[in-house]
Chains A and B, each alone.
Chain A
């Protein structure tokens, strides 16, 4: 009798430890993904800054620079896309700004991402200043389209 109880206890402890570890690993995984996507978004922000400065005339137009900024945006948006697994929203206990709507309207989120990536692609092909503003309208509109629905205000 005594022995069984001990084994049971050990088993329970082991089980609890496993669950706890899984929880930690899970939270760790979540934390990693959240950090990674935020870094990706910061890189996207860096790219748009260069394009906006050119549009405002604070920086001379250089097609190669625009192209490289646009590709930075594209690559990092593509990178961020899969870094929004369910359970990593603003209610996850880890500070971030991903709204629950991302998972309530998965199609909408995917479409917003696709639109922005297409706009970045289009921006990469801009060869002269006259084409910059229309392309920026589309690209910036892509950021806004997603942020207004799927990103929460700062905490």
Chain B
């Protein structure tokens, strides 16, 4: 009887592990997803600024502050990350990556050597970008100066390799890879705003609350909630009009472009300051589109 239980248990562990390994295996995209594409560097820069790459891939003190050579601390509740060098340096950056490798990292969270990235890298949002925009972004990164870095510390997370594999299971439930869908009943500018918010802008990562498995809970889209980095709250972006947070689209646009410089008091803390600095670099039509979309949310 007892022996049977042990055997049964052992069997379950083996099957469980096998199923787990099967379900958690990385499933990268194949080369045929890459569209025929003429690179648009200006669009690549827009995606770079909207994506806020520099905020996380921030260089260490002493390195060129405008280039994403990484290495600065990114604190999260699960541990500290040191987002890597994503400049065009071949040895220590991503200069040697193919387009497909870059798309798989940005939209599936899978590294060139087939490991899962932690979602502290917001590929969960970048997955909604158009692949052509991701390709422009890569071309833009490659057009910037290469920076060689020495440190290759990526994380201080306990049992990171095991957790990495486990991420595959999490992705099964929580990684929505559908590209943003255009809503024909709405103006083009509204759609542009919605696209930037859900994709490159990754506003949902903070402004949409999470469910018990830490996936984004879209039944409460942009409704605010606990700050994902630990303390305090992220405000709701719904009902901005009704709650008289902003008087009109122009007012909200000016908050996005100028933030606290124009006295908008709630645009600096908890990571929003960096986001706003990045938004201020976008073409005015794009921040206006974001404002139009947000202002329409009841």
B177 CB, nearest partner CB in chain A, Å: 30
Also in contact, A152 and B232, with CB within 8 A (given A55-B262, A137-B261, A147-B260): yes
- A136 adjacent to chain B (CB < 8 Å): yes
Question: Contacts A141-B261, A143-B260; is A154 near B268 (CB within 8 Å)?
Answer: no
| Interface 9-mer from A1-9, A15-23, A45-53 | A45-53
Cβ of A128 within 8 Å of any chain B Cβ, yes or no, is: no
Inter-chain contact B232/A153, CB cutoff 8 Å: yes
Identify which of B57-65, B197-205, B209-217, B269-277 touches chain A: B269-277
User: How many A residues touch the partner, as a band?
Assistant: 20 to 34
Contact B261 A140 (CB under 8 A): yes
In the complex, the answer to whether B233 meets A140 with C-beta atoms within 8 Å is no
* B234 on interface, CB distance cutoff 8 Å: yes
CB distance A48 to B263 under 8 Å? yes
**Nearest CB on B from A113, distance (A):** 15
| A114: Cβ under 8 A from any B Cβ | no
**CB 8 Å contact bits of A124-144 with B (1 = contact, 0 = none):** 000000000000110011011
Evaluate whether A155 and B232 lie within 8 angstroms (CB atoms) in the complex, with A143-B268, A147-B268 already known. yes
Q: Which residues of B contact A (CB under 8 A)?
A: 227, 231-235, 258-263, 265-270, 272-274
Query: What 10 pairs across the A-B complex have the smallest Cβ distances?
Result: A148-B273, A153-B270, A140-B261, A52-B263, A153-B232, A147-B268, A144-B260, A148-B268, A144-B268, A151-B269
